[in-house]
Amino acid sequence: MSNSFKHICVIGLGYIGLPTAATFAAHGVRVTGVDVNQHAVDMINQGKVHIVEPDLDALVRDVVAQGKLSAQLAPTEADAYIVAVPTPFKDDYQPDLKYIESAAKALAPFLKPGNLVILESTSPVEATEQMSAWLSEARPDLSFPQQKGEDADILVAHCPERVLPGKVLQELISNDRIIGGMTPRCSKAACDLYKIFVKGACIETNARTAEMCKLTENSFRDVNIAFANELSVICDKLDINVWELISLANRHPRVNILQPGPGVGGHCIAVDPWFIVAKTPEQARLIRTAREVNDAKPEWVIDQVKIKIAEFLQANPEKTIKDVTVACYGLAFKPDIDDLRESPALEITKKLAEQGLNILAIEPNICELPKSLPANVKLINVTENGLADIHLILVAHKEFHCISEDLQKKEYLLASVNLKK
């Protein structure tokens, strides 16, 4: 372990911050985690987790029991600070840095010369420089890279994660890490920090390039998913099985089409491309179009449900729209996690419920429904799916794979994801 980093403060204990904090703690560093959510803080201090991620519960339990990880509501003195808070939108998809600003102002009083501050949040280009400016405003007694360059008292860098939900603990360690310092000295310090546990390469660059790299990676994936989603709409029009088509096309040695779905969710792929569009609206034409294609997919799915409902009512003339029950399989933005952020499945479920339908939500990774859903949505176990008339598969959770043969027998079935292995 680097002698420079005996104590780290991680601000934001969500889907990235908590696994990062626990991984540092597991590698011998004392970690203080900070979150504004009292429930999350209490859970972590009990050695429990408030999110679903494979093996994270056992890891947190162990490092808390060893005294290596603790959580609290406010920052404290440390050798390094990692900011891992959300970056939501303002109007018209403009990035909102309010949480980064709040984190910067909260940690600033504790800074001392030689400290390293890392922005790990997915951020628009220049966000790291803006964070450093906020820190400088709060601490005029210290110098920062934008003022003193390599001679600054405080080191600042952007080090984006690039992990897959469901494999976060594994990929935090095994994946290459982009290290973007505001100066080469900042990059070197951040590189030393992450080498505590990263087994992949730590590749040094500048902060702006690191920011753009993360946005580029997710925009590339978004464009590819948009192609698949548009293909699914075309195939429906032409009465072609899109899953079979993609399987056949992917046999070409230089073709790798991704799988279509009900849209794109999560805090990265559904968000990052808009950060590029916001900065360069005239140049980011393909990136904008891909976002629009993926954002339009939920409405297309809803239209398909309406067609199924019409078919059901025609076959059951004694029933009305108020008698129709729709089962929505999955609310998360991807399989086998509980993360509902920017989830198209959640959006579709909500909009169907708002039309007065009886909705049965089947989401095995949550214990209660989000408050954003109307009262006519009921959370049920997958074994109760016989109560539904229309079956809408939105997320390929492993629990649904287990009953895929039974689902295929349902007369009124719509699958926006492929459950066949």
Query: Which active-site residues does the annotation give?
Result: 214, 268
Q: Which two tokens stand for residue 280?
A: 């360069």
**For every residue of the chain, which 3-state class applies, written as one string?**
CCCCCCEEEEECCCCCHHHHHHHHHHCCCEEEEECCCHHHHHHHHCCCCCCCCCCHHHHHHHHHHCCCEEEECCCCCCCEEEECCCCCECHHHCECCHHHHHHHHHHHHHCCCCCEEEECCCCCCCHHHHHHHHHHHHCCCCCCHHHHHHHCCCEEEECCCCCCCCCHHHHHHHCCEEEEECCHHHHHHHHHHHCCCCCCCEEEEEHHHHHHHHHHHHHHHHHHHHHHHHHHHHHHHHCCCHHHHHHHHCCCCCCCCCCCCCCCCCCCCCCHHHHHHHHCCCCCHHHHHHHHHHHHHHHHHHHHHHHHHHHHHHHCCCCCHHHCEEEEECCCCCCCCCCCCCCHHHHHHHHHHHCCCEEEEECCCCCCCCCCCCCCEEECCHHHHHHCCEEEECCCCHHHHCCHHHHHCCCCEEECCCCCC
Measured distance CA(322)–CA(346) in Å, rounded = 21
Residue 180 CB coordination number (10 Å): 27
Give the CA distances from residue 230 to residues 276, 294, 332, in Å, rounded to whole numbers and listed in that order: 22, 8, 22
Q: Which two tokens stand for residue 167?
A: 């494999």
